[in-house]
Amino acid sequence: MRAMFPEGEGWQIIRQPTSTTGTKPDFLIKRFESEIHAVDAEDKERLEKSDIDRLSDCTTELRTHDAMIFTAYETEVPSDVAEYAKTKQIEIIRTQWWQDE
């Protein structure tokens, strides 16, 4: 994630920020007040619409520019969940958190 948002370019990564109502994404990434992103990291078997809703609530509460969910490569993302994420303007990014031996 740091490669996408380099510190040298002014990006700050804040771990588990909390809004006044208790909404809490895994990360808030910001540079200036106009560039704020809510990020969740999900390492689970299957992504659900509730995961999308929770992050969407965070974007509203924390007034972020956009939102991303990083998932483990093997996490199942059903097509209806992927489409739902698009309607909520949440990008799903698959990652590989390990190195093959």
Q: Give pLDDT, residue 100.
A: 42
Which tokens belong to 31?
């540079």
Which residues of the chain have a pLDDT value below 50? Answer: 99-101
pLDDT in tens, 44-66: 999 999 999 999 988 888 888 88
Residue pair 4/68 in contact (Cβ under 8 Å)? The answer is no
Q: How far apart are CA 59 and CA 100, in angstroms?
A: 35
Residue 97 pLDDT: 57
Whole-number Å distance between alpha carbons of 65 and 42? 20
Q: How far apart are CA 56 and CA 100, in angstroms?
A: 34
- Give the residue extent of every domain in the chain: 32-95
Looking at the whole model, is its pTM more than 0.85?
no
**Helices (H) then strands (E): counts for the chain:** 2, 5
